[in-house]
Chains A and B, each alone.
Chain A
């Protein structure tokens, strides 16, 4: 029995080796790189946005085009919702309202002052989500202008997902940073905020102040770098998979399967990253307010005349948050 099994595994190994040799041969014959292509990169990766046009000294980059496109999509959606909204929402209205309601529901539980920052959190979530998903549309990254860089012709895509540019993510992170510092100053006063940075006891201030400062600044850097890193890595991954699966005739059938799998994953990652950025903004502001969830719940139930408007559940509508 043992001998039969060994013979069986040996013949299987032979077939695997024969198949591997055949595939390698096919790749060598059909998929070999032409001599004139030697030295040319399989994909062109640019870490920053690439200039498309110049208006004076001002560069219009493809990530700007991506951001403007995302803004236009959001504005069109907002215009549609505000102009054609019905008390009983139809399908498209429900679809457009769904993410807004979902994020508003999450922010509502964060603190009693949620009305003051719910618009920012929803705005960040929707902006980043649309920016990320724009990168998955056909034509984005493949349609562009041809520029010559170091003797090679390089395609500069017309649209690049805005979050794949550190300028965009850093801008969003600075907005978040300013808002949560402002909330901290507003709630505790400038003196109270500084006292928090200095910490207790006072004689530890020379040690604790720089530590607190680094800890605060790390939020700004981590917010921007995480979003940029994830979206940029996703773009590179998609470009690599497309380039690899279309680089040779023998692997061409895989081009119909493998990039699709990664596109699906990027759909999920784009959503997760938008959610993480928005939720961290909410968490930082809640921490700056210095109120805990239990307090928020108590405040909602005891203080009927909350200075911030709350959701009117009975009527099914709400006033605009401050």
Chain B
């Protein structure tokens, strides 16, 4: 694969932290697009898993409540994880 003309001088388009500006901006967009959906999906996954366990073990609503709490926890963890990674960068 011929890859040419991206950065002829080696590091001319990098910022002070060594991150190429071309790489940083689109990746940040991707993370922003992702975060909103992952919050909702985490809650749905936790709730869905709890509902399935409850219908399987006939223990309603114990696992539904636990699953919902875990899903909300996972959503909050996702925000923290993304923020921590963004601060590191």
Residues on A facing B (Cβ under 8 Å) = 85, 97, 100-101, 104-110, 207, 210-212, 214-215, 217-219, 221-223, 225-226, 275-276, 279-280, 282-283, 287, 292-294, 296-298, 301, 311, 313, 316-318, 320-321
Chain A residues whose C-beta falls within 8 Å of the C-beta of B4 in the assembled complex: 101, 316-317
A218 B42 Cβ-Cβ under 8 A: yes
Whether the Cβ atoms of B18 and A297 lie closer than 8 Å is yes
The A-contacting residues of B in range 10-52, CB under 8 angstroms, are: 10-11, 14, 17-20, 22-24, 26-27, 29-31, 33-34, 37-38, 41-42, 44-46, 49
B33–A214 touching, CB < 8 Å: no
Q: Is the CB of A293 within 8 A of B45?
A: no
Do residues A283 and B31 form an inter-chain contact, with CB atoms below 8 A? yes
Does B2 sit within 8 A of A, measured CB to CB?
yes
Known contacts A108-B20, A218-B74, A294-B18: does B1 contact A320 (CB below 8 Å)?
A: yes
8 Å CB contact of A110 from B1, B27, B37, B73: B27
Q: When the two chains form their complex, are residues B19 and A293 in contact, meaning their CB atoms are under 8 A apart?
A: yes
Cβ–Cβ contact B70 & A214, under 8 A: yes
B78 to chain A, nearest CB (A): 5
The answer on a CB contact under 8 Å between B71 and A101 is no
Q: How far is the CB of A117 from chain B (nearest CB, A)?
A: 14
Instruction: Decide if A215 touches B30 in the complex (CB within 8 Å).
Output: no
A112 to chain B, nearest CB (A): 11
- B-side binding surface: helix, strand, loop or mixed? helix
Contacts known (A104-B3, A297-B14); A283 close to B23, Cβ less than 8 A? no
Contact B1 A225 (CB under 8 A): no
User: Closest 5 interchain pairs by CB?
Assistant: A109-B23, A297-B18, A279-B30, A109-B20, A214-B74
A316: chain B residues within 8 A (beta carbon): 2, 4-5
Give chain B nearest CB distance to A305 CB in angstroms.
17
Q: Which of A106, A282, A318 contacts B22, CB < 8 Å? A: A106
Provided the pairs A283-B31, A293-B19, A294-B17 are in contact, do residues A215 and B8 lie with their beta carbons within 8 angstroms?
no
A-B contact pairs, 17 of them (CB 8 A): A104-B6, A105-B3, A109-B22, A110-B27, A207-B73, A210-B74, A214-B70, A215-B74, A217-B45, A218-B78, A222-B38, A225-B41, A275-B29, A279-B30, A292-B88, A318-B3, A321-B1
> With the chains together, A311 CA to B3 CA distance in Å?
7
User: When the two chains form the complex, which single residue of B11, B27, B71, B74 contacts A279, counting CB atoms closer than 8 Å?
Assistant: B27
Q: Known contacts being A294-B18, A318-B1, is A313 close to B10, with CB within 8 Å?
A: yes
Query: B2: nearest residue on chain A (CB-CB)?
Result: A317
Which residue in chain B gives the minimum CB-CB distance to A208? B77
Q: Please indicate the chain A residues that have their CB under 8 angstroms from the CB of B70 in the complex.
A: 210-211, 214
Question: Which residues of chain B come closer than 8 Å to A301, judged between CB atoms?
Answer: 11
